[in-house]
Amino acid sequence: MTFFFYLFATLTLLMTLLLLLSKKLIHLAFSFLGVLLGIAALFVLAGADFLAVAQILVYAGGVLVLIIIGIMLTQTAPKENGQNITSHSNIISAVLVLVLFSMLVYAFISQPFEQQTWIQNAQIQQKTLQTSTLPSTGILLMTQYLLPFELTAILLLVAIAGAITLLQYKNKSRIL
Amino acid sequence: MKPHNEVVVFLQSLYKDSALLMPEWVLCITFLGLFVADLWFKKQRIWLLWSLFAGGLVATMIVTILQFNSCSCQFEQFFFAKMLYLDTFGVFFKLFLVGATLLTAFLIPLSPTFRAKENFFRGEYFYLIVAVLIGAYLVAMAQHLLMFYLALELISIASYLLVGFNFDKKSAEGSLKYILFGAFSSAMMLYGMSLLYGLTGTLQVGEPQWITTIFKTPTLLHYLALSFFAAGILFKLAAFPFHFWTPDIYESAPSPVVAFFSVVPKAAVLAFVFRWASWFPSGQLEWVYAVGFIAVATMLVGNLAAFWQDNIKRLLAYSSIGQAGFLLAMVLVGKDFNLSSLLFYLISYSIANFLAFALVDIFAHFFGQQNEMPYAIENYKGIGTVKGLESVAFLLAMLSLAGIPPLVGFSAKLLLYSTLWENYHLLASQWILWILFLSVFLSLVALFYYLKVPYQTFFLPNTSAIPLERPSTFYDVYAKVLVLILSLALLVLFFAPNIIMAAIQQIKLG
């Protein structure tokens, strides 16, 4: 179990690095696919089977395909010159990011997570790994999380209606 | 998994609780009604949609008032599986939010988008505003991080879209900027929430056990988690490290939307912030330092940057950043703060702000469609002799924002200072005294840029070659009546603050 965790964690990290370092959009999209699949594997190892499947279906299956289609439709002649990476502001942000990262690492290492009661309880019960989370997720969505669930409906309706509104204006003579 | 019986009992309690969501139901019906009506009616639909919109808001307001009246005491309760928490504080904020949205509805007919013929008006405008209001209503009551995040995201997504409703290049650019900044701050906030969940094991905030885990023995990770979480909130408030988006977005969005943004999402998030502030342990001063620092920095940034603006909307954007600093200064003192001074300040700020943005649009109409930059301050030269009423109203709005008697802004600032002074004695922290001095000093500084436009209108000669456009009689009368009502409100609330104070003083944070 631990071996697989480290395997997939390394894979995800490598893919993330590749994503950040790649210059071509299509390389970026495929390393992103690696990241998403790695995270899905980590979800499986954490016992979150529903989340893992949703991750693969929604992100790897939906979002990534959208990104690739987007790249296909918007691709223009490559402009590879003129990218000045070591500009002044980049150095500042690199320093800031490093400081934040080391702070986070220190904070995570020094935090006594194993003393927390809810984590201790979860370790004793070991419930999550034995049964599928799908039925309880469904029941929770329809009981305890009913209101957020319904709110998501309005959220999606707003997003769809808004996207259509913005698109319709492309056909008008106005600018945009 | 829960047994079957338990689920049924749970569902029955949800069914019972849904009666408490009455105002939200009315809002949702308005939202869907506008959605359908927008598809259904083709001709002459602007005013029809507008009246549906305003009617829905009035209905919501009535239902919210009923809720406010029915619940003065023993009302505080969790409902909907502890997702939301209802107390007089929350209901009052909801009332305030719907009132502000109704004012926005009255501002909309003044805006160029509403009048322009070739740029036919979109019904989406109305129901997106209603969607923001639904989100704001839920944020004001949220007691669960998932609920809070979804409601905030509803506000955000509808806002990103509303910024683009001028449908020109600038507006699209503003909208895109807003999405990028907003997505970034939401991501930071989500990360903070996930850390908070890891530290407490629950998303249910505000329970005694949760408060002790978070605030009693904070480690570095607690501080980091809370700062990440604060990022999203400060972004919505347009407070110090996350204020950069404000001027660009305010400049490119339609003015009624800007007036709406500078009040409604801010007030909703403030309600949430004040709940958090009431959980800060009163003995520890770190929280006072942190919030105080942000408040002071926000005031400084807003008030000092406003000097160099030559666009009236950018000036008002920086002014709203400065005002957010003043509002945040009230969070300083945890549970000991004086609620009524906050609410009074919020009301006075909103009225003046709405008046200012209404006048921005009215003046832009006078300057005409040929004018390339209808929001440049130099347009206002010498207009005071031609458009007396509007110019005086503008002066009143600016003076009220700056806090000059005899306007309601003065009473609000006075209340703020006296609250800070009391809390200085209560907490005996020099820090609060410094904040008090700085805010008095900055409101004096603010006077200079607030008077920038009135100076142009009254003391400089008109040099513009383009003659003023004559609005239609209906527009003229409508604008004058609206401006008169809002200006009178500024004056009346100064002389008789008891009109709202009586209601405000009943409000308790549960």
Low-confidence ranges of chain B (pLDDT < 70): 1-3, 42-44, 71-76, 115-121, 282-284, 333-338, 464-466, 509-510
In this prediction, residues A50-63 reach a mean pLDDT of 89
pLDDT score recorded for residue B430? 79
Angle, vertex CA B292, rays to CA B290 and CA B295, nearest 5: 115
The per-residue pLDDT for A16 is: 92
3-state secondary structure of B403: coil
Helices B264-277 and B145-163, packing angle to 10 deg: 160
Give B198-232 pLDDT, tens digit per residue. 888 888 887 777 887 777 777 888 888 988 999 98
d(CA B439, CA B330): 11
B362-379: b or e for each residue (b if 16 or more CB lie within 10 Å)?
bbbbbbeeeeeebbebeb
**Chain B residue with minimal CA distance to A121?**
B201
Residue among B150, B165, B171, B216 with most chain A CBs within 10 A, to mutate: B150
Which residues 86-125 in chain A show a CB within 8 A of chain B?
103-104, 106-108, 110-111, 113, 116-119
- Tell me: pLDDT of A173 over 50: no
> Would you call B177 an interface residue with chain A, using a CB distance cutoff of 8 Å?
no
pLDDT digits (tens, 9 = 90+) for B330-364: 777 555 556 788 888 889 999 999 999 999 888 88
How many CB pairs (< 8 A) connect A and B? 103
What are B397-417's pLDDT values in tens digits? 999 988 888 888 888 888 888
Contact B124, B38 (CB under 8 A): yes
Instruction: Find the closest chain A residue to B165 by CA distance.
Output: A166
| Set of chain B residues whose Cβ sits within 8 Å of the Cβ of A165 | 122, 124, 161
Enumerate residues 73 to 92 of chain B having a beta carbon within 8 A of any beta carbon in chain A: 80-81, 83-84
What pLDDT does B70 receive?
75
Measure the CA–CA gap between B477 and B108, rounded to whole angstroms: 15
Number of neighbours of residue B255 by Cβ within 10 angstroms: 27
Out of A139, A158, A165, the one facing B122 most closely (by C-beta) is A165
Q: Are B284 and B339 in contact (CB under 8 A)?
A: no
What does the angle CA B81 – CA B84 – CA B89 come to, to the nearest 5 degrees?
150
Predicted pLDDT at B46? 78
Query: What pLDDT was estimated at residue B404?
Result: 84
Burial of B417 (0-12, 13-18, 19+ CB in 10 A): middle
Type of residue numbered B476 = D
As a whole-number percent, the residues of chain A with pLDDT over 90 amount to 27
Please tell me the distance from the alpha carbon of residue A59 to that of residue A12, in angstroms, as a whole number. Answer: 15
Q: What percent of chain B has pLDDT over 90?
A: 24
Mark which residues 82-141 of B lie under 8 Å from A by CB. 83-84, 119, 122, 124, 127-128, 131, 134, 138
Q: Please give the Cα distance from B114 to B475 (Å, whole number).
A: 11
| Predicted local confidence at residue A119, as pLDDT | 78
Contacts of A109 in chain B (CB under 8 A): none
- CA dihedral (B145, B146, B149, B154) in degrees, to 10, reads -140
- What pLDDT shows up at residue B193? 93
ipTM of the complex as predicted: 0.86
The distance in angstroms from the start CA to the end CA of chain A is 53
Question: Which residues, other chains included, contact B55 with Cβ-Cβ below 8 Å and sequence gap of 6+?
Answer: none
What are the residues whose beta carbons fall under 8 Å from the beta carbon of A70, sequence distance 6 or more?
none
Average pLDDT, chain B: 84
Q: Give the Å distances, CA to CA, from A110 to A96, A107, A113, A119, B397.
A: 21, 5, 9, 16, 53
The pLDDT of residue B254: 86
Judge whether B90 and B145 are in contact, CB under 8 Å.
Answer: no
Q: What is the Rg, in whole angstroms, of the alpha carbon atoms belonging to chain A?
A: 22
How far from B229 is each of B40, B141, B224, B299, CA to CA, in Å?
A: 42, 18, 8, 21
- Tokens 């949760």 -> residue: B210
Burial status of residue B67 (CB atoms within 10 A of its CB: 0-12, 13-18, 19 or more): buried
Question: What pLDDT score was predicted for residue B333?
Answer: 58
Q: For residue range B282-298, list pLDDT tens digits in order.
A: 666 777 788 888 888 99
Please, what CATH class does the domain formed by A1-75 belong to? mainly alpha
Using one digit for the tens of pLDDT, what is the confidence trace for A129-169? Answer: 667 788 888 888 888 888 899 999 999 999 998 888 877 76
User: How many Å apart are CA B390 and CA B480, to the nearest integer?
Assistant: 8
Report the distance separating Cα A124 and Cα A144, nearest Å.
25
Cα separation, B36 vs B395, whole angstroms: 42
Partners of residue A152 in chain B, C-beta under 8 Å: 150
Bridge-partner residues for B376, per DSSP?
B311
CB of A20 within 8 A of CB of A52?
Answer: no
Query: Is the per-residue pLDDT at A85 higher than 70?
Result: no
CA distance, residue B28 to nearest chain A CA (Å): 9
Q: Residue B18's pLDDT is what?
A: 81
Domain boundaries, chain A: 1-75, 145-176
Task: Say which residue the tokens 């899905």 belong to.
Answer: A40
Structure tokens given for B64: 């919210």
Report helix, strand or coil for B311: strand
Q: Which residue has the tokens 């036919």?
A: B120
Do residues B456 and B381 lie in contact, with contact meaning Cβ atoms separated by under 8 Å?
Answer: yes
| Terminal alpha carbon distance of chain B | 33
* Pairwise CB contact (< 8 Å): A166 & B161: yes
Backbone phi, psi, residue B103, to 5°: -60, -40
- The minimal CB distance from A158 to the residues B2, B151, B157 is found for B157
d(CA A122, CA A119): 5
Chain B residues near residue A116 by CB distance under 8 angstroms: 199, 201
CB B277 within 8 A of CB B335: yes
DSSP B3: -
Confidence at residue B331, expressed as pLDDT on a 0 to 100 scale? 76
Give dist(CA B51, CA B40) in Å, integer.
15
Average pLDDT over residues A62-88: 71
In this complex, the residue of B7, B134, B169 whose CB is nearest that of residue A175 is B169
Q: Write out the DSSP string of B461-476.
A: ----SSPPPPPPHHHH
The whole-angstrom separation of Cα B394 and Cα B362 is 11
Q: Which residues pair with B78 in a beta bridge?
A: B85
pLDDT > 50? residue A176: no
Contacts of B83 in chain A (CB under 8 A): 145, 147-148
Higher pLDDT, B495 or A113: B495
Q: What is the dihedral of CA B130, B136, B137, B143, to 10 degrees?
A: 150
Q: What is the pLDDT of residue B452?
A: 84
By the 10 Å C-beta count (0-12 exposed, 13-18 middle, 19+ buried), B437 is classed as: exposed
For residues B450 and B402, the answer to whether their CB atoms sit within 8 Å is yes
- Look at B221 and A107 and tell me if their CB atoms are within 8 Å: yes
Confidence of residue A175 (pLDDT cuts 50, 70, 90): very low
Element (H, E) at B79: strand B77-79
Answer yes or no: is pLDDT of A174 > 50.
no
Q: What token pair was written down for B388?
A: 């007396």
Residues of B in Cβ contact (< 8 Å) with A145: 81, 83, 146
CB B351 within 8 A of CB B489: yes
Q: Are A175 and B138 inside 8 Å of each other by CB? A: no
pLDDT of residue A171: 47
pLDDT in tens, B257-269: 999 999 999 999 9
Question: Smallest CA–CA separation between A112 and chain B, in Å?
Answer: 10
pLDDT at B66: 86
Element (H, E) at B85: strand B84-86
**Best of A113, A151, A157 to mutate (most B CBs within 10 Å, chain B):** A151
The residue whose two tokens read 């650019």 is B173
